[in-house]
């Protein structure tokens, strides 16, 4: 489905990003992955290559323009083009608003939202020159729920949806598709650090589908949005939440 396509994926050392990278590679894409966990990123790329795929790892922080620009330049130099960008990197610590430090707010916005400004500014000129491209931004179903105590996180993810919609209109004339996924409660290594078993069970109980969602569930929708199957779509947000929120 993605034969000979070149895909860039952020936050791909574990979880959803790793699942996306593995699925894309299995579908024929060359994947360039970035994560601040350089060793983890390298392990994922080596594993993909061992399975017969094409993957290239880079250690770097999406909060650094230098890191992002170097990664994108390297991908273009190696592969000659960029067909797909998946903005997946993000953090989601909990913090009550009235006890939140300004620095905590700023780090959240920088990591989850401004990072996409950096990657998009680096990648879109290449896509404009090609007159083609697919961008998938990862937001969160919490934007529709307004969950507590996560005001800084929910705000950042709402910004992702706004960015997706606005850029979809701006980039449409260049044949660039920009869409968004809003995952629900996904069973990942990172989730286990901030969500208790009881909280996970409560979120699953709120779903229409009574099973834990996995990174692959999100990766499959990302594959759809990155392939020709979604050529008639842009500016859209798709819930992958087991039927928790419906709109």
- Exposure pattern of 24-37 as b/e (b: 16+ CB <10 Å)? bbebebbbbbbbbe
153 is catalytic: yes
How many Å apart are CA 133 and CA 172, to the nearest integer? 10
**CA distances (Å), 31 to each of 50, 57, 62, 160, 167, in order?**
14, 9, 17, 23, 24
Q: Are 33 and 17 in contact (CB under 8 A)?
A: yes
- What tokens were used for 43? 């392990």
Dihedral (CA of 55, 61, 67, 68) sign: positive
Token pair listed for 155: 């705000």
Q: What does each C-alpha distance from 115 to 160, 188, 213 come to in angstroms?
A: 10, 21, 26
Please identify which of the residues 62, 153, 195, 234 carries the catalytic annotation: 153
- CA distances 220 to 4, 48, 101, 132, 238, Å, are 18, 17, 37, 21, 12
Catalogue the active-site residues: 153
């Amino acid at each position: 489905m993605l034969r000979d396509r070149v895909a860039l994926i952020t936050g791909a050392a574990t979880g959803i990003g790793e699942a996306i990278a593995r699925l894309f590679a299995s579908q024929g894409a060359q994947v360039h992955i970035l994560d601040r966990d350089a060793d983890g990123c390298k392990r994922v790329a080596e594993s993909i290559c061992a399975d017969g795929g094409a993957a290239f790892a880079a250690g770097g922080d999406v909060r650094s323009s230098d890191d992002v620009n170097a990664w994108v330049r390297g991908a273009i130099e190696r592969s000659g083009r960029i067909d797909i960008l998946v903005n997946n990197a993000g953090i989601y610590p909990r913090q009550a608003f009235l006890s939140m430090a300004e620095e905590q707010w700023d780090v959240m916005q920088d990591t989850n939202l401004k990072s996409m400004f950096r990657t998009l500014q680096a990648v879109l000129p290449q896509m404009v020159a090609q007159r083609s491209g697919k961008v998938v931004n990862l937001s969160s179903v919490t934007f529709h729920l307004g969950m507590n105590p996560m005001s800084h996180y929910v705000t950042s993810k709402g910004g992702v949806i706004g960015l997706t919609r606005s850029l979809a209109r701006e980039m449409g004339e260049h044949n660039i598709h920009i869409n968004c996924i809003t995952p629900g409660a996904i069973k990942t290594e990172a989730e286990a650090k901030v969500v208790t078993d009881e909280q996970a069970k409560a979120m699953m109980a709120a779903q229409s589908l009574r099973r834990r969602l996995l990174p692959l569930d999100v990766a499959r929708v990302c594959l759809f949005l990155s392939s020709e199957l979604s050529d008639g779509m842009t500016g859209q947000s798709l819930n992958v939440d087991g039927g928790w929120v419906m709109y």
